[in-house]
Every structure is written in structure tokens, then in C-alpha cells.
Amino acid sequence: MCAECDGRHVSVVIPTLDEALTISSVIRDVRSILPRAEIIVVDGGSTDNTYEEALNAGAKVYISGEKGYGKAIIHGATHATRDIVVMVDGDNTYDLSTLKQLVARASAGSVVVGCRFHSKPQGMDLIGFVGNWLISRILNIVWGIRVVDSQSGLKVFPRELVTAFRQGDMTFSSEVLLRAKQFGIPISEVRIGDYRRRVKGSKSKLRKLPDGFAILRFILKERLTKPRSA
């Protein structure tokens, strides 16, 4: 295990929108695994007390002037001061027990995906499961990438990749992989624990069909307009 896996070289960026019920738990889990990590929460315009909960839990908290999943992560990563950036959702659906393994692999300069698909995740319905599989399959064929869980909200990437990001919406998860491919950055996956169900009162921001089609359109359009690295 790498010496820096206590988090001293890691910034953890957590995008949020109305996650007051869960954000403190996510921050606490990150802190227990990477005690020296910089934790950045970006609030995308919450109407609950997400901001206060994150601040009280010890995170650096920023308010994004623009709405969107990708916008929030880019905003947070721009403020990151460490070499390695972890992105993870603030809804407490991700088991972070293997986070050190992801960081260890990323310390060599690669992009690492936290893969949920060793079985059907508890927190994902059939439409989400099939849609994710289909998107990942198409991305792999079109871009020559080998990943199982392209839409995972748990990814680790080098901070210098941030300047290449442009996608402000749910296409961002795919963009991380496409930019890595274009710049010749290795991509790998680490199996993580089960994808948990949301707590009662927490709502998903994903619009399955509209966002799914937008992601596919982005993947295909990018392939037509930009070369992929060998």
C-alpha cells in the first residue's frame, strides 16, 4: 500500500444537492479511511441544510454558481490543492471501504473507477442496471476503453486532468474516461462494496431516460469530432 494513502496527497470532491440527511456520514467515512485528505463539498443550490451539515462535519464547502453534476465536480476540483482527486457522490450509496486501494492505484498517475457491478447493486433498479451496462458497452466499443461501470460516481483522477473537463451535466462521468483515453492516461477499475439504497427522504437527481440518451449522444459525438489515443 502506498505511503501517501493516508490521504496527504488526496482531495476528495463531493457534489451535493439536498443531501443534508447523508453528507455528514460520507465525510465521516472519508475521514476515517483517509484521515489527512482534503475534503471539498460543493453545494449546487440545496434548499435544505446541506451546507451547514457539511461545514459542521469539517469539510471545505463551496457553493457552485452553476447547477449541474459535472459543474459541481469541476468547481470542487478547481479548488483542490492535492495531486490526486477523488470524486464521490454525497448520498451515502457508495461503500468506501476499498477507497485506499483506488488511491493506491491512482498514485501512479492513472484514472481509477470504483466498480459496483460484481453483482446487481442493491441500490439500482433494473432500468438503471441495464442502462449502465449498455452505456458502458457502447463506450468500450467506440472508444476502445475496457470498463464495466463507466457511470460510477466514485472515480479517482490526477488533478491536472481537470483543465480538460467541459461537461457540466450527467455526461461528466463519461467525460472523465474519454479525456483520460485522449491523453493516454491508463484507466483501471477496483471492485468496491455493494451500492447501497438511498436513505428515506433522499432523492436521486438522475433522470434515467433523458440523461441516458444525453450520455450516449455525448459519447458518439465526441468520437466523431475528436481522435482517441492509441
Domain CATH for 188? 3.90.550.10
Per DSSP, the three-state class of 13 is strand
The residue range of the domain holding 153 is 7-225
In-domain check, residue 186: yes
What total of structural domains would you count in the chain?
A: 1
Residue-level pLDDT at 66? 85
In-domain check, residue 230: no
In-domain check, residue 29: yes
DSSP 20: T
Q: From first to last of its 230 residues, what are the pLDDT tens digits of the chain?
A: 565 679 999 999 999 999 999 999 999 999 999 999 999 999 999 999 999 999 999 999 999 988 899 999 999 999 999 999 999 999 999 999 999 999 999 998 999 999 998 755 665 778 878 888 999 999 999 999 999 999 999 999 999 999 999 988 899 999 999 999 999 999 999 999 888 766 666 666 667 778 889 999 999 999 988 766 65
In-domain check, residue 34: yes
Query: Distance between CA 62 and CA 74 in Å, rounded?
Result: 12
In-domain check, residue 56: yes
In-domain check, residue 47: yes
Beta sheet of 10-16, edge-to-edge order: 60-63, 38-43, 10-16, 84-87, 155-158, 111-115, 187-191
Q: Judge whether 37 and 80 are in contact, CB under 8 Å.
A: no
pTM of the model: 0.92
Query: Distance between CA 51 and CA 60 in Å, rounded?
Result: 10
In-domain check, residue 2: no
Query: Distance between CA 185 and CA 32 in Å, rounded?
Result: 29
Element (H, E) at 102: helix 99-106
In-domain check, residue 1: no
E-assigned strands of 95-222? 111-115, 155-158, 187-191
Residue-level pLDDT at 171? 93
Q: What is the pLDDT of residues 114-161, one digit of tens each?
A: 999 875 566 577 887 888 899 999 999 999 999 999 999 999 999 999
